[in-house]
Amino acid sequence: MRTLLLFDGIGSTNENLLPALRGLHSAPENSAFFQAAFDAFDEVAAYLDPPARARLSPDGSALRQWLGAPGGVPAGSVAAGICVHLYQACHLQPARGHPDGAVGALGHSIGLPAAILAGLRLRRTDEFLGVATALLRLVAVSLVRAHELDGGPVPDADAVARYLTRGHRGDGPGPMAALSGVPRAELHAMVAAFNGSGSALTVGLTNSPGSHVLSGLPVELLAFYFAHEPRLGRVGVSWAFLPSTIPFHSPRLAPAARRVDDDRRFIGPLPAGDQLRLPVYATDGPRNLQGSPDLVAEFLAQVLLRPIEWELAARHAVSDAAVDRVVDFGPGPSARRFTRECLDGVGRRLRFEPVRQFSRPGR
C-alpha cells in the first residue's frame, strides 16, 4: 500500500504523552536514543545564557529528570515541543522498522522535524542519532528564542474574570485560540476588520474548512472575543484559548527566527531538501520540500511564521503521492482528525492506522 507518514503537533498533546515517553524510555532497545537526547538537551542548557536557560527549564531540571518518576514536564510550549519531537523520533529509529510502502511524510507544525527525519530514511544508527539530535537542538533553541520575545501587555484582570464567567472550556487568555463553526471567508473578514484598529491577529492555522486557530497577543485575542461575542456564542460555534505559550504561525515571531540564524553553528548542520528520499510536504501550500535548499529556514517559516493551510497540504500530499493508507505517528489525534475532515468528498478511500502496528522493537 502507498503510505503517508503523518506527524501531529503540540496542539493535541495530553496527559498520556509523558507516560508514553516514560514507557519508551524504559525499553532497553531505546537506551542509545534517549542517552543521545539527554546529552543534546544538556548541550542546549549549557549553550544558553541563564535567562534563556530558565525558558528551557524554569526549575533547572534536565530532560532525564522530566522522564523520571515522580517528576514531570514543565508547563509551556518549550517542553511540549521537545517531548513531541522525542516521541515521534523514537518511533523512527532504524531498528524499530518503518511502515512498508512509505511514499511521503507530512508534519503538523512541530511535527515537521519528525517528517523530515522520516523523509531522510536513514539506515545507520549513528547517522540517525546525529540528525535526530540536531533537530532536537533546533526545536529547543527555536522555542526558547520565541519565548524570549516581549509578550505584550497583560490582559486586564476584570476582562479575564468576565471571560471566565462565560464557562468556556480550555485555559484563560493566551496567545492562541481555537474556534470552529465560522466559515473561513467570514473569519478572515472579521480578523481584517478587527486589525484595522491597529491589532495584528493572524489566522495562524486553517486545520479544516470549519476549524481555525488565531494567533496574537492575549490581550488582542480577548478583545476580539468580546468584540464578536454574539457571533461566537451561537449554536454550533466554539471558542477556546489553547495552552500554547507563544503565538505559533505568526509574523510576531520573526525576531525569534532571525535570532535562531545566529544559533545555527551550535545547532549543527542539517541535510538539504535534495537529500530527502521521500517527499516531505509543506503545510503553507501544495509543495514538496525536496526542492528546498535550507530545511532549517523551512522549519522556522512553517513552525513559527507562516499560517498552516492543512486542507491544501493534505489534499496535495494524498494526490501527489497517490496515497491509500495513512500511518499516524501521533502523539495526539488532531492531525489525523483534521486530515479526515479535509479529505471528505475527494473520492479517495484511505486507511488510517497507528504507528504501533508497525513498530518492531529490538529487531
171 phi, psi to nearest 5 deg: -85, 175
For residue 255, what is the enclosing H or E element? Answer: helix 254-261
Sign of the alpha-carbon torsion through 352, 89, 53, 256: negative
Mean pLDDT of the chain: 92
CA distances from 294 to 19, 255, 271, 299 (A): 35, 19, 8, 9
pLDDT digits (tens, 9 = 90+) for 15-26: 678 888 999 999
As given in the structure block, the three cell numbers for residue 2 are 502507498
Q: Show me where the domains of the chain are located.
A: 3-149+253-357, 157-245
pLDDT digits (tens, 9 = 90+) for 171-220: 789 999 999 999 999 999 999 999 998 999 999 999 999 999 999 999 99
CATH architecture, range 157-245: 2-Layer Sandwich (3.30)
Give me the torsion for CA of 221, 227, 230, 232, rounded to 10°. -20
pLDDT digits (tens, 9 = 90+) for 216-271: 999 999 999 999 999 998 999 999 999 999 999 999 999 999 999 999 999 999 99
On whether the CB atoms of residues 324 and 1 are closer than 8 A, the answer is: yes
Residue 358 pLDDT more than 80? no
pLDDT digits (tens, 9 = 90+) for 12-68: 555 678 888 999 999 999 999 999 999 999 999 999 999 999 999 999 999 999 998
pLDDT number for residue 329: 95
Cβ neighbours around 152 below 10 Å, total? 14
pLDDT digits (tens, 9 = 90+) for 299-350: 999 999 999 999 999 999 999 999 999 999 999 899 999 999 999 876 678 8
Residue 166 pLDDT more than 90? no
317 phi, psi to nearest 5 deg: -60, -45
Sequence letter at residue 312: L
Percentage of the chain lying above the pLDDT 70 cut: 94
| Beta-carbon contacts of residue 116 (< 8 Å; ≥ 6 apart) | 105, 107, 135, 270, 276, 280, 289, 295, 299
pTM for the predicted model, two decimal places:
0.94
pLDDT number for residue 339: 94
Q: What confidence category does residue 100 fall into, taking pLDDT thresholds of 50, 70 and 90? A: confident
pLDDT number for residue 363: 34
CA distances from 211 to 181, 234, 342 (A): 7, 15, 10
CATH architecture, range 3-149+253-357: 3-Layer(aba) Sandwich (3.40)
Q: What confidence category does residue 359 fall into, taking pLDDT thresholds of 50, 70 and 90? A: very low
Cβ neighbours around 16 below 10 Å, total? 11
